[in-house]
Amino acid sequence: MNNYKALNYIYQSSGVEGAYTLLLLHGTGGDETDLLPIAAKFGEGVNVLSLRGNVSEAGMPRFFKRLAMGVFDEADVAFRTHEMVAFIKELAAKEKFDPAKLIALGYSNGANIAGSTMLLYPDFLAGAILLRPMQPFKKLPQPVKTSRRIPVFMSNGVEDPTVRAADSKAYQQLLEDAGFAVNAFNLEAGHNLTLRDIEYAIQWFEQNFETAAIK
């Protein structure tokens, strides 16, 4: 028995056959509605699947447990990642979206479970937008390699008190060494998102998934 639980979700179909699906993954204390306004900026040609994390920290939804600020319960990271991927695979059949055309868009805690998905399932996502990410595992549970050059967008805040610049650079290098095609941006910002994060992410998206953008 794996004891996996379903996740609360919102699914919005674009009505476009073979469309990409944006997988929205909120930050600590958010929910499945948080990133919908951002997803709307990516055009009408994409489906949207937004999840709520199954972990509660003092009443705040998260995707996995942490032991302290910036210190993750890595066993729970792995478990929750397996749980989420299993749920998405089942949901794809129910909601009729292509699981091979899934692009994660995660902020903070959501970016971190998107990252753990890439590290545990290197060929599961078609792409990922990581906003204020941290490396989810200090020691990788398994070797990571993909030959597909999956595009990854990463934006870091140079004044972010929760993520060290050197750690962001090391994480980028880890993903590149694993075969991901990473475009990283260091913005004049803290941990909160800015309009520039979204503008750059949309530009990256349209360059890498041009068939998805219908305005």
User: Is the pLDDT confidence value at 6 over 70?
Assistant: yes
Span 24-33, average pLDDT: 98
Q: Tell me, what's the pLDDT at 1?
A: 61
The domain 9-208: what is its CATH number? 3.40.50.1820
Span 52-57, average pLDDT: 97
- Tens of pLDDT, residue by residue over 79-123, are 999 999 999 999 999 999 999 999 999 999 999 999 999 999 999
- Tens of pLDDT, residue by residue over 164-189, are 999 999 999 999 999 999 999 999 99
Span 118-134, average pLDDT: 97
User: Is the pLDDT confidence value at 61 over 50?
Assistant: yes
Q: Is 191 a catalytic residue?
A: yes
Q: Tell me, what's the pLDDT at 211?
A: 53
**Phi, psi dihedral angles at 99 (to 5 degrees):** -65, -15
Q: Tell me, what's the pLDDT at 143?
A: 87
Q: Is 160 a catalytic residue?
A: yes
The residue from 108, 116, 155, 168 that is catalytic is: 108
Q: Is 123 a catalytic residue?
A: no
Query: Could you state, in order of their start, the residue ranges of all structural domains in the chain?
Result: 9-208
> DSSP labels for 120-160?
HSTTT-SEEEEES---S-SS-SS----SS--EEEEEEETT-
Residue 12 to residues 106, 114, 125, 166, Cα–Cα distance (Å): 17, 20, 19, 38
The residue from 50, 155, 160, 168 that is catalytic is: 160
